[in-house]
């Protein structure tokens, strides 16, 4: 009989590039877009990408933990930062960091736009930990930097989904980090599944309206509040 496992850390995982690549891909959905687009003349991006591209300001853009190289052809002055060393194997230009504090240590306060889209490394924690991540990101932002941040409600930990109004919970979080991280909330889009029975009396089994980019979306401006976000 096989030994039983309950948690990732119960036994050591396989150590190989294949393993690292597989795990990286499982958590970076938009890597698939890069695989698709790099060999084609017509590239596919989604409407959330368009929303970001339409609202970027000129200057330096950082994409962290979101397979940002898929945006290389449409964002000039792009810095892609990841936490998985395997990324260097297929995208040598990536900056690889271990801790988020290194983003500012390496780059200084240089970014005019900072993007995090459904980064699995940011979630699977309480919102208080997400706040700590964001506190590290702002250290690399110029005043006026636009900060695009999105994630999924289903992968935020330690809240009672049966006692807490989801929409209020996440909106309050946006308002909270305005104060603690010197950000100004310019725009938000917080959506949950709408369930209605179909003609056969069943509900659909889908999760939230955007599992790829996340159903909780914010745009902040660092320090100032001068920009208008168009959606």
Partner 1 sequence: MSSTKKTVKFVAPFALYKWAKNFKRVQDKFYANQYKLRRIQQVEDFIVLNNFQKVHHIEEVRIDLELPKTLFTSDINVADLVLVTHQGYSRYPCKGIVEQIQEWLADCPKLYLCLNRHYINIDNQTIDMELPDDFQTAITVWLQKSLPECTIIDLSRNYMDYGSHFTWSLPDRHYYIEKK
- Restricting to residues 51-110, name those near partner 1 by CB under 8 A: 53-54, 56, 73-76
Residues contacting 188, CB < 8 A, separation 6+ = 171, 174, 217, 218, 219
As measured in angstroms, the least distance from the Cβ of 141 to partner 1 is: 21
Given 92, 99, 195, 230, the residue binding partner 1 (CB under 8 A): 195
Beta carbon nearer to partner 1, 138 or 187: 187
- In the complex, the smallest distance separating the C-beta of residue 104 from partner 1, rounded to whole angstroms, is 25
Binding residue (CB under 8 A) for partner 1 from 157, 176, 226, 231? 157
14 binds partner 1 (CB under 8 A): yes
User: Quick check: 228 binds partner 1 (CB under 8 A)?
Assistant: no
User: Which one among 92, 98, 198, 205 touches partner 1, defined by CB under 8 A?
Assistant: 205
Dihedral (CA of 101, 103, 107, 110) sign: negative
75 φ, ψ (degrees, to nearest 5) = -125, 115
Angle at 140 between CA 139 and CA 142, to 5 degrees: 100
Closer residue to partner 1 (CB): 58 or 179: 58
Map residue 218 onto helix, strand or coil.
Answer: strand
Query: DSSP string covering 78-128, please?
Result: EEEEES-TTHHHH-TT-EE-SSTHHHHHHH-S-EEEEEEES-TTT-SB-HH
Residue 172 in contact with partner 1, rule: CB under 8 A: no
**Restricting to residues 19-48, which ones interact with partner 1 according to CB under 8 A?**
19, 22-23, 26, 29-30, 32-33, 37, 40-48
Torsion on CA atoms 16, 19, 24, 26, rounded to nearest 10: 180
167 touches partner 1 (CB under 8 A): yes
Phi, psi of 51, deg, nearest 5: -55, -45
Count of alpha carbons within 13 Å of 18, Cβ hemisphere only?
Answer: 1
Cα 114–34–98 angle (5° rounding)?
50
Among 92, 98, 99, 160, binds partner 1 (CB under 8 A): 160
CB-nearer residue toward partner 1: 109 or 161: 161
Task: Please state the closest distance from residue 209 (CB atom) to partner 1, in A.
Answer: 8
Closest to partner 1 by CB, 30 or 188: 30
Which of 99, 165, 200, 230 touches partner 1 by CB under 8 A?
Answer: 165
Structural contact between residues 145 and 137, judged by C-beta atoms closer than 8 angstroms: no
Residue 8 binds partner 1, judged by CB under 8 A: yes
């Amino acid at each position: 009989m096989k030994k039983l496992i309950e948690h990732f850390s119960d036994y050591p995982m396989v150590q190989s590039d294949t393993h690292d690549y597989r795990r990286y891909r499982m958590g970076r959905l938009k890597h698939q877009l890069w695989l698709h687009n790099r060999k084609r003349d017509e590239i596919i991006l989604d409407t959330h990408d368009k929303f970001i591209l339409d609202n970027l300001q000129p200057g330096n853009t950082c994409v962290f933990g979101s397979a940002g190289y898929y945006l290389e052809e449409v964002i000039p002055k792009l810095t892609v930062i990841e936490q998985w060393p395997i990324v260097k194997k297929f995208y040598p230009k990536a900056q690889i960091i271990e801790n988020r504090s290194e983003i500012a240590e390496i780059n200084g306060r240089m970014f005019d736009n900072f993007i995090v889209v459904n980064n699995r490394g940011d979630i699977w924690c309480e919102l208080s930990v997400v706040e700590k991540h964001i506190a590290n990101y702002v250290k690399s932002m110029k005043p006026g930097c636009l900060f695009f941040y999105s994630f999924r409600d289903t992968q935020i930990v330690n809240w009672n989904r049966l006692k807490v109004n989801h929409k209020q919970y996440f909106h309050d979080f946006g308002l909270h980090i305005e104060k603690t991280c010197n950000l100004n909330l310019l725009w938000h889009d917080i959506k949950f599944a709408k369930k209605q029975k179909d003609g056969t009396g069943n509900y659909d089994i889908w999760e939230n309206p955007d599992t790829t980019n996340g159903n909780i979306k914010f745009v902040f401006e660092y320090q100032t509040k001068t920009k208008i976000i168009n959606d």
